[in-house]
Amino acid sequence: MSAAPQVVALSRDDFHARAGAELTFVYGQQAPDLLQRLEQLIAHHQTDMTSEPRRLWSEQTQMMITYGDSIVEGEDSVPLEVLERFMREHLEDTFSAVHILPFFTWSSDDGFSVIHYRKVSPAVGDWPQVRHLAGRFNLMFDLVINHVSRESLWFIDYLSDTLPGRDYFIELPEQTDVRSVTRPRNTPLLAPVSTRRGMQHVWATFSEDQIDLNFANPDVLIEMVGVLLYYLTQGARLIRLDAIAYLWKELGTSCIHLPQTHAIVRLLRAIMERVAPGALLLTETNVPHHENLSYFGHGDEAHIIYQFTLPPLLLHTLTTGNARALTEWAATLPPLPAGCTYLNFTASHDGVGVRALEGLLPRHDIDALLELMQRFGGFISMKTDSDGQDSPYEINITYFDALKGTRRGADPWQVARFICSQTIMLGLQGIPAVYFHSLLATLNDHEGVTRTGRLRAINRKRWQREALEPLLEAYSTPTHIVFEALTLRLKTRRQEPCFHPDVPQKIIDLGPHFFAFLRGPLPDGRRLLAVHNVTDQPHPLNLPEAYANHHWHDLLGRIDPDLDAPMLKPYRSCWLVSQA
């Protein structure tokens, strides 16, 4: 399949129609004035951006997720420059896109408590380094849209009762009943703050240092659209809407996925299509799968959503040696709306969310997985439910250490099992995203947890380049083995047209020992059959009759498909291609 059709800029009339409808739904009679203010913002930034047609994606679209300082070198080097050199020397012909996690000035949560949206943290570099990377890769920026740091100028305005920030936050009496609000944390929703007007309590979904913005005030919307446009002028080709599900608040509701939130996502999509055609919008909504799918809208909200079910369900599959649940879930995935796709991943800066398993696995299987992850050195982060009880929200562990064994305990198959997990992810329909620490088989960073007091630090190690390079060069290290295997697969994958995100996917049930799917066929008849042994035992690969008569070739060189029932070794994968 050729690359996706080119997209062109949304016309002024179409933009007015779409934006006007969303603004009217959210803000009523204020909509005409807001539309005029948006047009003024767009006109101010339009000269800095190209409106040339661009393609959305192709089989060569592959993303790496990293912090700006995930790899450092000495005391005087600039981390973003170190990252760029490392990628140039080790990752040529692998990734087309890089998600640089929040690199703005921040006060906590490794960047997600933003102090200033338009300033790069001196700890990682400055805008020239960001723009230089943007010249080599399609960059994804985080638009941390739900909340700001309590050290931000807006919140300082609030504390001092000064415009404009005075009206940017949600202030409620301490005793307000907020039990119906869906929480991703187990900290109090209302954070006490000392202001010029005395002690007040403000809405803080995630932490007392992450104060939620009040989008019922349209000035807040205008401020954040300005930030979005600024990011596009600085080279962002993808925008990640962090914690977007919690954007709109309305007491008496769950305050998650509200209609106003979806309307604002559609508005941001229209703005991007107006000023930067081909730039992509990604929503971050770590929720059960059917809720996550709602952010495609009718093909008019996110271009891309995270495949949040995949990371925990893969852990269950590979630690039980049974692909049944994964096969059944993948077979239920609906056809993708035109111009929409998944971001497939197994690990990121966050933990492995477990909410996505709700309704897919019985409670005892989820509990068994959580207990196993703790045995493998991980932690469990909790959230508070509407009944006031705490329940598991995410597993904090590196994905490599999460696969150090099965339910029977640790075993010698960790490296092979981990490579199998990444190979499954790389082949599924969508865009693959590989976390920097997955490339390097990074172990649990318990020292980081102790130093910071934060459970998520277990998966946010900062590598010293002088310590990393010998591990990459030594043939026997897990770092070398995993890095070589994954980069080879990435280079192979980007040359295979069956991996275009728009190529359809069909799940093939080969029994509990295998997870298998077909990509294609393409117009010329080419198809790809991906098969993965998810167990620690070899098993014969008996293809269904519908596929047995094809002449297959294994892109990974693992098996000879022409043999009668070839054996697939433990945790081995094959990418079988056929031209007809």
Average pLDDT, the chain: 94
Helices 12-27 and 31-46, packing angle to 10 deg: 140
The b/e string for 204-236 (b: 16+ C-beta within 10 A; e otherwise) is bbbbebbbbbbbebbbbbebbbbbbbbbbbbbb
- Rounded to the nearest 10 degrees, how much is the dihedral formed by the CA atoms of 449, 451, 457, 460? -130
CA distance 402 to 351: 11
- Beta strand pairing status for 138-143 and 236-241? parallel
pLDDT digit string, tens, across residues 291-321 = 999 999 999 999 999 999 999 999 999 999 9
pLDDT at 388: 72
Is 560 marked within a binding site? no
Does residue 532 carry a pLDDT above 60?
yes
Q: Among the options 242, 401, 445, 536, which is catalytic?
A: 242
Closest CA to 143 of 167, 112, 169, 115: 112
pLDDT score of 497: 97
DSSP E strands, 86-225: 97-100, 104-106, 114-120, 138-143, 147-149, 190-195, 198-203, 210-212
Query: What are the tokens at 225?
Result: 């659209």
Lowest mean pLDDT among 29-38, 420-429, 562-571: 562-571
Phi and psi torsions of 13, nearest 5°? -65, -45
Question: Binding residue per annotation — 88?
Answer: no
Burial of 110 from C-beta contacts in 10 A (0-12 / 13-18 / 19+): middle
Residue 186: per-residue pLDDT: 83
- Outline where DSSP puts E strands in 290-406: 304-306, 341-344, 352-353, 379-384, 390-396, 405-406
Cβ count near 453 (within 10 Å) = 8
Tell me the domain boundaries of the chain.
505-578
CATH class of 505-578: mainly beta
Residue 270 has pLDDT above 70, yes or no: yes
Residue 197 annotated as binding? Answer: no
| 578: helix, strand or coil | strand
For residue 500, say whether it is annotated as part of any ligand binding site: no
CA distances from 355 to 2, 256, 308 (A): 36, 14, 9
551 is in an annotated binding site: no
pLDDT at 145 over 50: yes
| Residue 548, pLDDT above cutoff 90 | no
List pLDDT tens digits, range 414-423.
999 999 999 9
2, pLDDT greater than 50: no
- Numbers of helices and strands, H then E, in the chain: 18, 30
Q: Is 453 left (phi over 0), alpha (psi -120 to 50) or beta?
A: left
- Predicted confidence (pLDDT) per residue in 446-459, tens digit: 999 999 999 999 99
Residue type for 125, please?
G
Q: Which amino acid is at 214?
A: N
| Residue 242 annotated as catalytic | yes
Residue whose token pair is 């042994």: 533
Q: What is the pLDDT of residues 184-229, one digit of tens each?
A: 888 899 999 999 999 999 999 999 999 999 999 999 999 999 999 9
What are 229's two structure tokens? 């446009």
The separation between CA 33 and the C-alpha centre of its own chain, rounded to angstroms, equals 35
Which amino acid is present at 257? Answer: H
Helix (H) / strand (E) element for 71: namely strand 71-72
Cα–Cα distance for residue pair 171/203, rounded to 1 Å:
7
329-386: pLDDT as tens digits: 999 999 999 999 999 999 999 999 998 998 999 999 999 999 999 999 999 998 877 6
The pLDDT, as a whole number, for residue 559 is: 75
CA distances, 292 to each of 69, 244, 283 (Å): 30, 11, 9
Cα–Cα distances in Å, from 404 out to 104, 228, 443, 481? 35, 41, 10, 15
Confidence class for position 53, pLDDT limits 50, 70, 90: low
Split at pLDDT 50, 70, 90, the class of 50 is low
Q: Which amino acid is at 87?
A: M
Instruction: Report how far residue 362's alpha carbon sits from residue 240's, in angstroms, rounded to the nearest whole number.
Output: 32
372 marked as binding residue: no
Which stretch of 14-23, 179-188, 472-481 has the lowest confidence by average pLDDT?
A: 179-188
- pLDDT confidence bin for 3, thresholds 50/70/90: very low
In whole angstroms, what is the distance from residue 460 CA to residue 116 CA?
22
